[in-house]
Amino acid sequence: MNGKKIDGHQITVKEYRFPEFPPTDPLSPEVYASLGRLGCVVFGLPSGTTNESLRRAFSPFGKLVRAIIAINPPTNQYLGTVVFEDEPSAREAVKRMNGKKIDGHQIIVKEYRFPEFPVGSNPGLDYQKASASASDSASDDMGPLGCVVDGLGSGATDESFTRAFSQFGDVIHAKIARDFGCGKKIGMVVYEDERSAREAVERMNGKEIDGYRITVKESRYPQFRRRAVAE
């Protein structure tokens, strides 16, 4: 089913183990490690949330391996992924943070295992080291780097949006995703290479398009994973 369409939408299907349904036989250390470190997915974040503010909110519960903001493709809403070094920290974070508010928005926090960070790998890895040393395979799984653009004017079109951001590199996808009902829109851009995405963020953040000042932030897009693009 991976790559097939349901109701006209191409789907991505991946293997996943569900810890809430454990097997009757004990897991071997190898299988247990392959499940990945325990962390959490954070839903309902406001658009102004940054990687740093997400890290600050969850670091009191334990040492972090990763804390990043992304966009949930079906809804174009912000979500966070937080990976902890140990499982008690992750469970405490879910217990204490679920239903709380960040920047005035109530969040939902759920447990999730991250196979790109196997149990027992890189002991003592902290947030900064994890960000710097993530492997290519892990980056592929997270999706290519792009940016999310807040504050576009109501007259912005996909064509003008693409022209504004294609100057920084080859674009996989550029789309004005949603009208918030306040006269402004949000856009997403996905690039072939990470350097182009970072240059776009550096050079376009705070600029004006059609008289509107925009905010540009990095985001990864798992629906455009490099393996899928290469095919």
CA distance 231 to 226: 9
- Do 41 and 73 belong together in one domain? yes
Q: Residue 58's pLDDT is what?
A: 94
Last residue of a domain, one of 114, 134, 154: 134
CA distance 63 to 200: 31
Q: Residue 93's pLDDT is what?
A: 95
Looking at residue 207, which CATH number applies to its domain? 3.30.70.330
Q: Is residue 46 part of a domain?
A: yes
Tokens 């710097």 — which residue? 132
User: 181: domain range?
Assistant: 145-230
Last residue of a domain, one of 134, 166, 189: 134
Q: For residue 28, count CB atoms less than 10 angstroms from its CB and return exposed for 0-12, middle for 13-18, buried for 19 or more.
A: exposed
Q: Residue 96's pLDDT is what?
A: 94
Q: Is residue 25 part of a domain?
A: yes
Q: Is residue 140 part of a domain?
A: no
Q: Write out the chain's pLDDT in tens, 231 residues.
A: 888 888 888 887 877 655 555 554 444 545 544 567 788 989 888 877 888 888 899 999 999 888 888 776 556 677 888 988 888 999 999 999 999 988 788 999 998 877 667 665 543 433 334 344 333 444 444 567 888 888 888 788 888 889 999 999 999 888 886 554 455 677 888 888 889 999 999 999 999 888 888 888 887 776 665 443 333
Q: Residue 47's pLDDT is what?
A: 75
Q: Residue 230's pLDDT is what?
A: 36
Number of domains in the chain: 2
Q: Is residue 139 part of a domain?
A: no
Q: What stretches of 35-193 show up as alpha helix (H) in DSSP?
A: 51-58, 87-97, 127-133, 136-142, 158-166
- Do 130 and 17 belong together in one domain? yes
Q: What pTM value is reported for the model?
A: 0.46
Q: Residue 4's pLDDT is what?
A: 86
Query: CA distances (Å), 117 to each of 82, 130, 211, in order?
Result: 11, 9, 44
Q: Residue 172's pLDDT is what?
A: 87
Q: Residue 95's pLDDT is what?
A: 93
